[in-house]
Protein backbone atom coordinates (compact mmCIF):
# COMPACT_ATOMS: atom_id res chain seq x y z
CA UNK A 1 0.00 0.00 0.00
CA UNK A 2 1.23 3.48 -0.84
CA UNK A 3 2.21 5.48 2.17
CA UNK A 4 0.44 8.70 2.91
CA UNK A 5 -2.23 7.64 0.50
CA UNK A 6 -5.72 9.00 0.71
CA UNK A 7 -7.06 8.19 4.08
CA UNK A 8 -10.46 8.69 5.53
CA UNK A 9 -10.28 11.46 8.03
CA UNK A 10 -9.93 10.04 11.49
CA UNK A 11 -12.28 11.79 13.84
CA UNK A 12 -13.44 11.27 17.35
CA UNK A 13 -16.72 9.68 18.38
CA UNK A 14 -19.73 11.94 18.58
CA UNK A 15 -20.36 13.16 22.08
CA UNK A 16 -23.53 14.03 23.84
CA UNK A 17 -22.48 17.60 23.35
CA UNK A 18 -22.49 17.16 19.61
CA UNK A 19 -25.90 15.61 19.73
CA UNK A 20 -27.30 18.41 21.85
CA UNK A 21 -25.92 21.06 19.54
CA UNK A 22 -27.19 19.25 16.48
CA UNK A 23 -30.63 18.99 18.02
CA UNK A 24 -30.56 22.50 19.33
CA UNK A 25 -31.23 21.54 22.90
CA UNK A 26 -29.27 21.60 26.09
CA UNK A 27 -26.88 18.93 27.23
CA UNK A 28 -29.24 18.04 30.01
CA UNK A 29 -32.16 17.53 27.71
CA UNK A 30 -30.11 15.44 25.37
CA UNK A 31 -28.95 13.31 28.25
CA UNK A 32 -32.48 12.85 29.47
CA UNK A 33 -33.85 11.92 26.10
CA UNK A 34 -31.17 9.38 25.45
CA UNK A 35 -30.79 7.73 28.80
CA UNK A 36 -32.84 9.56 31.40
CA UNK A 37 -34.56 7.48 33.98
CA UNK A 38 -38.11 8.74 34.19
CA UNK A 39 -39.16 10.28 30.91
CA UNK A 40 -40.04 13.87 31.33
CA UNK A 41 -38.96 15.32 28.04
CA UNK A 42 -41.15 17.04 25.52
CA UNK A 43 -41.88 14.58 22.77
CA UNK A 44 -40.74 16.94 20.06
CA UNK A 45 -37.38 17.55 21.69
CA UNK A 46 -37.04 13.90 22.32
CA UNK A 47 -37.45 13.12 18.72
CA UNK A 48 -35.06 15.78 17.61
CA UNK A 49 -32.44 14.44 19.97
CA UNK A 50 -32.97 10.89 18.84
CA UNK A 51 -32.72 11.95 15.23
CA UNK A 52 -29.55 13.89 15.90
CA UNK A 53 -28.05 10.94 17.73
CA UNK A 54 -28.87 8.62 14.86
CA UNK A 55 -27.52 11.05 12.32
CA UNK A 56 -24.27 11.44 14.21
CA UNK A 57 -23.98 7.77 15.02
CA UNK A 58 -23.84 8.61 18.67
CA UNK A 59 -23.12 5.90 21.21
CA UNK A 60 -22.94 6.88 24.85
CA UNK A 61 -19.48 6.52 26.27
CA UNK A 62 -19.87 3.84 28.90
CA UNK A 63 -16.74 4.90 30.73
CA UNK A 64 -17.97 8.43 31.03
CA UNK A 65 -21.32 7.19 32.21
CA UNK A 66 -19.66 5.01 34.76
CA UNK A 67 -17.60 7.90 36.06
CA UNK A 68 -20.52 10.26 36.22
CA UNK A 69 -22.93 7.79 37.70
CA UNK A 70 -20.44 6.31 40.03
CA UNK A 71 -21.47 2.80 39.05
CA UNK A 72 -20.50 0.60 36.16
CA UNK A 73 -22.42 -1.99 34.20
CA UNK A 74 -19.59 -4.46 34.23
CA UNK A 75 -19.36 -7.91 35.66
CA UNK A 76 -15.92 -9.39 35.99
CA UNK A 77 -15.51 -13.12 35.62
CA UNK A 78 -12.49 -15.08 36.70
CA UNK A 79 -12.03 -18.59 35.39
CA UNK A 80 -9.13 -21.00 35.62
CA UNK A 81 -9.06 -21.87 31.95
CA UNK A 82 -11.65 -20.73 29.47
CA UNK A 83 -10.82 -23.51 27.02
CA UNK A 84 -11.91 -26.07 29.60
CA UNK A 85 -15.53 -27.09 28.95
CA UNK A 86 -16.37 -26.80 32.61
CA UNK A 87 -15.45 -23.14 32.67
CA UNK A 88 -16.62 -22.27 29.22
CA UNK A 89 -20.06 -23.61 30.08
CA UNK A 90 -20.18 -21.57 33.24
CA UNK A 91 -19.00 -18.56 31.28
CA UNK A 92 -21.76 -19.12 28.77
CA UNK A 93 -24.26 -18.96 31.60
CA UNK A 94 -22.79 -15.77 33.00
CA UNK A 95 -22.56 -14.11 29.61
CA UNK A 96 -26.10 -15.07 28.77
CA UNK A 97 -27.58 -13.81 32.01
CA UNK A 98 -25.49 -10.65 31.85
CA UNK A 99 -26.76 -9.94 28.37
CA UNK A 100 -30.32 -10.09 29.60
CA UNK A 101 -29.50 -7.37 32.09
CA UNK A 102 -27.50 -5.36 29.59
CA UNK A 103 -24.38 -5.92 31.59
CA UNK A 104 -20.99 -6.29 30.05
CA UNK A 105 -18.80 -9.16 31.10
CA UNK A 106 -15.06 -8.99 31.22
CA UNK A 107 -13.06 -12.12 31.61
CA UNK A 108 -9.63 -13.19 32.77
CA UNK A 109 -7.87 -16.49 33.34
CA UNK A 110 -6.21 -17.43 36.58
CA UNK A 111 -4.48 -20.42 35.07
CA UNK A 112 -5.12 -22.09 38.40
CA UNK A 113 -2.51 -19.91 40.02
CA UNK A 114 -3.56 -18.33 43.30
CA UNK A 115 -0.96 -15.61 43.05
CA UNK A 116 -2.13 -14.69 39.61
CA UNK A 117 -5.71 -14.78 40.75
CA UNK A 118 -4.97 -12.27 43.45
CA UNK A 119 -3.29 -9.96 40.98
CA UNK A 120 -6.22 -10.27 38.65
CA UNK A 121 -8.72 -9.43 41.32
CA UNK A 122 -6.69 -6.36 42.10
CA UNK A 123 -6.51 -5.41 38.45
CA UNK A 124 -10.16 -6.03 37.81
CA UNK A 125 -11.13 -3.81 40.69
CA UNK A 126 -9.95 -0.99 38.52
CA UNK A 127 -12.99 -1.51 36.37
CA UNK A 128 -15.19 -0.96 39.39
CA UNK A 129 -17.29 -3.88 38.29
CA UNK A 130 -20.70 -4.21 39.83
CA UNK A 131 -20.02 -7.87 40.33
CA UNK A 132 -17.00 -10.10 40.50
CA UNK A 133 -17.48 -13.82 40.00
CA UNK A 134 -14.69 -16.16 40.98
CA UNK A 135 -15.22 -19.57 39.55
CA UNK A 136 -12.05 -21.53 40.14
CA UNK A 137 -12.02 -23.89 43.07
CA UNK A 138 -10.40 -22.69 46.26
CA UNK A 139 -7.12 -24.03 47.44
CA UNK A 140 -7.06 -25.28 50.99
CA UNK A 141 -4.42 -23.56 53.06
CA UNK A 142 -3.75 -21.03 50.36
CA UNK A 143 -1.34 -18.47 51.81
CA UNK A 144 -2.88 -15.88 49.52
CA UNK A 145 -6.32 -16.38 50.99
CA UNK A 146 -5.95 -13.64 53.54
CA UNK A 147 -4.79 -11.17 50.93
CA UNK A 148 -7.62 -12.23 48.67
CA UNK A 149 -10.11 -11.80 51.44
CA UNK A 150 -8.76 -8.36 52.19
CA UNK A 151 -8.94 -7.36 48.56
CA UNK A 152 -12.47 -8.61 48.14
CA UNK A 153 -13.59 -7.12 51.41
CA UNK A 154 -12.32 -3.76 50.28
CA UNK A 155 -14.07 -4.34 47.00
CA UNK A 156 -17.36 -5.07 48.67
CA UNK A 157 -16.98 -2.20 51.06
CA UNK A 158 -16.86 0.09 48.11
CA UNK A 159 -20.04 -1.21 46.64
CA UNK A 160 -19.01 -4.30 44.73
CA UNK A 161 -20.35 -7.79 45.05
CA UNK A 162 -18.06 -10.78 45.09
CA UNK A 163 -19.48 -14.21 44.46
CA UNK A 164 -17.74 -17.52 44.62
CA UNK A 165 -18.86 -20.43 42.57
CA UNK A 166 -18.27 -23.38 44.85
CA UNK A 167 -17.49 -23.17 48.54
CA UNK A 168 -14.69 -20.90 49.59
CA UNK A 169 -14.35 -20.57 53.38
CA UNK A 170 -14.20 -16.88 52.66
CA UNK A 171 -16.94 -14.60 53.93
CA UNK A 172 -18.59 -13.80 50.63
CA UNK A 173 -21.66 -14.87 48.82
CA UNK A 174 -21.23 -18.32 47.49
CA UNK A 175 -23.07 -20.53 45.11
CA UNK A 176 -22.43 -23.88 46.75
CA UNK A 177 -21.95 -26.79 44.42
CA UNK A 178 -23.06 -30.22 45.42
CA UNK A 179 -19.65 -31.74 44.99
CA UNK A 180 -19.83 -33.75 48.12
CA UNK A 181 -23.35 -35.05 47.87
CA UNK A 182 -23.02 -35.62 44.15
CA UNK A 183 -19.99 -37.81 44.68
CA UNK A 184 -21.74 -39.55 47.53
CA UNK A 185 -24.73 -40.33 45.34
CA UNK A 186 -22.47 -41.56 42.61
CA UNK A 187 -20.73 -43.96 44.99
CA UNK A 188 -24.03 -45.36 46.14
CA UNK A 189 -25.31 -45.78 42.61
CA UNK A 190 -22.17 -47.54 41.55
CA UNK A 191 -22.48 -49.84 44.49
CA UNK A 192 -26.03 -50.50 43.43
CA UNK A 193 -24.76 -51.55 40.05
CA UNK A 194 -22.68 -54.19 41.72
CA UNK A 195 -19.32 -52.49 42.00
CA UNK A 196 -17.30 -53.34 45.06
CA UNK A 197 -13.70 -52.45 44.34
CA UNK A 198 -13.02 -48.81 43.59
CA UNK A 199 -10.20 -46.50 42.62
CA UNK A 200 -10.14 -42.77 42.09
CA UNK A 201 -8.19 -40.36 39.98
CA UNK A 202 -7.99 -37.26 42.07
CA UNK A 203 -6.61 -33.75 41.76
CA UNK A 204 -4.21 -31.92 44.04
CA UNK A 205 -5.28 -32.62 47.59
CA UNK A 206 -5.21 -28.93 48.35
CA UNK A 207 -7.91 -28.26 45.82
CA UNK A 208 -11.15 -27.90 47.66
CA UNK A 209 -13.15 -29.48 44.86
CA UNK A 210 -10.87 -32.49 44.95
CA UNK A 211 -11.30 -32.75 48.64
CA UNK A 212 -15.07 -32.49 48.56
CA UNK A 213 -15.55 -34.97 45.78
CA UNK A 214 -13.18 -37.48 47.31
CA UNK A 215 -14.76 -37.05 50.71
CA UNK A 216 -18.25 -37.44 49.32
CA UNK A 217 -17.28 -40.50 47.39
CA UNK A 218 -15.68 -42.03 50.45
CA UNK A 219 -18.76 -41.26 52.49
CA UNK A 220 -20.99 -42.89 49.97
CA UNK A 221 -18.88 -45.98 49.95
CA UNK A 222 -18.58 -45.99 53.71
CA UNK A 223 -22.36 -46.05 53.91
CA UNK A 224 -22.26 -49.40 52.23
CA UNK A 225 -19.25 -50.56 54.15
CA UNK A 226 -16.59 -50.06 51.52
CA UNK A 227 -13.32 -48.23 51.57
CA UNK A 228 -10.99 -47.13 48.78
CA UNK A 229 -7.49 -48.41 49.51
CA UNK A 230 -4.99 -45.59 49.72
CA UNK A 231 -2.94 -47.01 46.90
CA UNK A 232 -5.93 -46.70 44.65
CA UNK A 233 -6.22 -42.99 45.12
CA UNK A 234 -4.13 -41.63 42.32
CA UNK A 235 -3.18 -38.02 42.66
CA UNK A 236 -2.73 -36.08 39.42
CA UNK A 237 -3.54 -32.79 37.70
CA UNK A 238 -7.17 -31.70 37.45
CA UNK A 239 -7.04 -31.66 33.64
CA UNK A 240 -7.47 -33.99 30.70
CA UNK A 241 -3.75 -34.62 30.56
CA UNK A 242 -3.73 -35.19 34.27
CA UNK A 243 -6.37 -37.86 33.82
CA UNK A 244 -4.40 -39.49 31.06
CA UNK A 245 -1.19 -39.46 32.99
CA UNK A 246 -2.74 -40.62 36.25
CA UNK A 247 -4.39 -43.54 34.59
CA UNK A 248 -1.21 -44.49 32.79
CA UNK A 249 0.65 -44.55 36.07
CA UNK A 250 -2.11 -46.48 37.74
CA UNK A 251 -2.06 -49.10 35.03
CA UNK A 252 1.70 -49.39 35.23
CA UNK A 253 1.58 -49.74 38.97
CA UNK A 254 -1.02 -52.46 38.62
CA UNK A 255 -4.77 -52.14 38.70
CA UNK A 256 -5.15 -55.12 40.95
CA UNK A 257 -8.75 -56.20 41.10
CA UNK A 258 -10.14 -52.70 40.66
CA UNK A 259 -13.53 -52.71 39.01
CA UNK A 260 -14.23 -49.06 38.52
CA UNK A 261 -12.29 -45.85 38.64
CA UNK A 262 -13.87 -42.57 39.55
CA UNK A 263 -12.19 -39.68 37.78
CA UNK A 264 -12.89 -36.50 39.65
CA UNK A 265 -14.05 -34.66 36.58
CA UNK A 266 -15.09 -35.49 33.07
CA UNK A 267 -12.08 -34.19 31.23
CA UNK A 268 -9.89 -36.31 33.48
CA UNK A 269 -12.14 -39.28 32.78
CA UNK A 270 -11.78 -38.72 29.08
CA UNK A 271 -8.04 -38.59 29.36
CA UNK A 272 -8.12 -41.68 31.51
CA UNK A 273 -10.13 -43.60 28.94
CA UNK A 274 -7.62 -42.68 26.29
CA UNK A 275 -4.81 -43.89 28.50
CA UNK A 276 -6.62 -47.18 28.99
CA UNK A 277 -7.00 -47.67 25.30
CA UNK A 278 -3.38 -46.86 24.72
CA UNK A 279 -2.60 -49.59 27.21
CA UNK A 280 -4.87 -52.05 25.45
CA UNK A 281 -7.71 -51.87 27.94
CA UNK A 282 -11.30 -51.25 26.95
CA UNK A 283 -13.10 -48.74 29.19
CA UNK A 284 -16.40 -50.05 30.43
CA UNK A 285 -15.42 -53.63 29.81
CA UNK A 286 -11.99 -54.17 31.35
CA UNK A 287 -12.50 -51.37 33.80
CA UNK A 288 -15.48 -49.14 34.38
CA UNK A 289 -15.06 -45.37 34.49
CA UNK A 290 -17.14 -42.59 35.95
CA UNK A 291 -16.64 -38.85 35.78
CA UNK A 292 -18.15 -35.70 37.24
CA UNK A 293 -19.69 -32.53 35.74
CA UNK A 294 -21.48 -34.08 32.79
CA UNK A 295 -19.93 -31.80 30.21
CA UNK A 296 -21.63 -31.99 26.83
CA UNK A 297 -19.06 -34.23 25.15
CA UNK A 298 -19.46 -37.14 27.51
CA UNK A 299 -22.44 -38.19 25.42
CA UNK A 300 -20.16 -38.54 22.45
CA UNK A 301 -17.34 -40.60 23.84
CA UNK A 302 -17.30 -44.36 23.81
CA UNK A 303 -18.51 -45.83 25.96
CA UNK A 304 -20.76 -42.97 26.96
CA UNK A 305 -19.54 -41.74 30.27
CA UNK A 306 -21.34 -42.10 33.55
CA UNK A 307 -21.15 -38.79 35.32
CA UNK A 308 -22.71 -36.49 37.87
CA UNK A 309 -24.61 -33.78 36.14
CA UNK A 310 -23.90 -30.25 37.17
CA UNK A 311 -26.03 -27.71 35.35
CA UNK A 312 -23.02 -25.62 34.41
CA UNK A 313 -24.69 -22.90 32.38
CA UNK A 314 -27.33 -22.49 35.00
CA UNK A 315 -24.61 -22.28 37.61
CA UNK A 316 -23.16 -19.33 35.74
CA UNK A 317 -26.55 -17.69 35.55
CA UNK A 318 -27.32 -18.27 39.19
CA UNK A 319 -23.98 -16.92 40.29
CA UNK A 320 -24.81 -13.67 38.60
CA UNK A 321 -28.34 -13.63 39.98
CA UNK A 322 -26.99 -14.26 43.43
CA UNK A 323 -24.67 -11.29 43.08
CA UNK A 324 -27.30 -8.98 41.68
CA UNK A 325 -30.12 -9.95 43.93
CA UNK A 326 -29.87 -7.29 46.54
CA UNK A 327 -32.19 -8.80 49.06
CA UNK A 328 -29.90 -11.75 48.83
CA UNK A 329 -31.26 -13.13 51.98
CA UNK A 330 -30.86 -16.74 52.78
CA UNK A 331 -33.99 -17.53 50.81
CA UNK A 332 -32.62 -16.41 47.49
CA UNK A 333 -29.37 -18.20 48.07
CA UNK A 334 -31.23 -21.33 48.95
CA UNK A 335 -33.32 -21.06 45.83
CA UNK A 336 -30.25 -20.57 43.72
CA UNK A 337 -28.43 -23.55 45.10
CA UNK A 338 -31.47 -25.78 44.90
CA UNK A 339 -31.54 -24.87 41.28
CA UNK A 340 -28.06 -26.15 40.71
CA UNK A 341 -28.33 -29.51 42.35
CA UNK A 342 -26.73 -32.57 40.86
CA UNK A 343 -27.99 -35.79 39.44
CA UNK A 344 -26.17 -39.01 38.76
CA UNK A 345 -26.36 -40.10 35.15
CA UNK A 346 -25.50 -43.73 34.61
CA UNK A 347 -24.26 -44.57 31.14
CA UNK A 348 -22.40 -47.34 29.41
CA UNK A 349 -19.03 -46.72 30.96
CA UNK A 350 -20.33 -48.33 34.14
CA UNK A 351 -22.32 -51.37 33.09
CA UNK A 352 -24.10 -53.42 35.68
CA UNK A 353 -21.72 -55.94 37.15
CA UNK A 354 -22.80 -59.50 36.42
CA UNK A 355 -23.19 -61.48 39.57
Partner DNA sequence: TTGAAAGCGGTACCAC
Partner DNA sequence: GTGGTACCGCTTTCAA
Phi, psi of 212 (to 5 degrees): -65, -45
Least separation in angstroms between CB 99 and DNA: 20
In the complex with its own copies, the residue whose CB is nearer, 85 or 220, is: 85
CA distance 71 to 354: 62
In the complex with DNA, the residue whose CB is nearer, 81 or 119, is: 119
CA distance 211 to 1: 60
Residue from the set 47, 51, 55, 68 that interacts with DNA by CB under 7 A: 68
Stretch of 25-33, 45-53, 81-89, 188-196 lying at the interface with its own copies (CB under 8 A): 81-89
Q: 3-class DSSP state for residue 180?
A: helix
In the complex with its own copies, the residue whose CB is nearer, 37 or 158, is: 158
Q: What is the dihedral of CA 152, 155, 156, 157, to 10 degrees?
A: 120
Q: Establish if 223 lies at the interface with DNA (CB under 7 A).
A: no
Residue 51 contacts which entry, DNA, its own copies, none (Cβ below 5-8 A, type-dependent): none
Cβ contact 87:81 at 8 Å: yes
CA distance 175 to 333: 7
Residue 313 contacts which entry, its own copies, DNA, none (Cβ below 5-8 A, type-dependent): its own copies
Residue 15 contacts which entry, its own copies, DNA, none (Cβ below 5-8 A, type-dependent): DNA
Q: Establish if 81 lies at the interface with its own copies (CB under 8 A).
A: yes
CA distance 80 to 117: 9
Q: Establish if 170 lies at the interface with its own copies (CB under 8 A).
A: no
Cβ contact 90:75 at 8 Å: no
Q: Is 284 exposed, middle or buried (0-12, 13-18, 19+ CB in 10 A)?
A: buried
Cβ contact 52:71 at 8 Å: no
Q: Establish if 55 lies at the interface with DNA (CB under 7 A).
A: no
Residues ≥6 apart with Cβ < 8 Å to 36: none
Chain positions 2 to 31 lying near DNA, rule: CB under 7 A, are 12-13, 15-17, 25-29, 31
Q: Contact residues for its own copies (CB under 8 A)?
A: 1, 8-13, 57, 59-64, 66-67, 70, 72, 74, 81-83, 85, 88-89, 91-92, 95-96, 99, 102, 104-109, 122-128, 153-154, 157-159, 240, 270-271, 273-274, 277, 296-297, 299-302, 313, 329-330
Residues in contact with DNA by CB under 7 A are 12-13, 15-17, 25-29, 31-32, 34-37, 40-42, 44-46, 58-61, 64-65, 67-70
Amino acid sequence: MAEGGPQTRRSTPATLHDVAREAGVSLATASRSLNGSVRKVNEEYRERVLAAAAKLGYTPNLSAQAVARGTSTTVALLVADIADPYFSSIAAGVVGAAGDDRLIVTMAETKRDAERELELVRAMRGQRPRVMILSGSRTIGDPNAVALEAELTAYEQTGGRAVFISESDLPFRTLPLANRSGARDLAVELHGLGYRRFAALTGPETLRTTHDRVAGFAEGLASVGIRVPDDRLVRTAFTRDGGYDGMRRFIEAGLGDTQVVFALNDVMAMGAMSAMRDAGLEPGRDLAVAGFDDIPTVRDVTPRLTSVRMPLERIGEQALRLALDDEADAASARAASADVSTEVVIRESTPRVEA
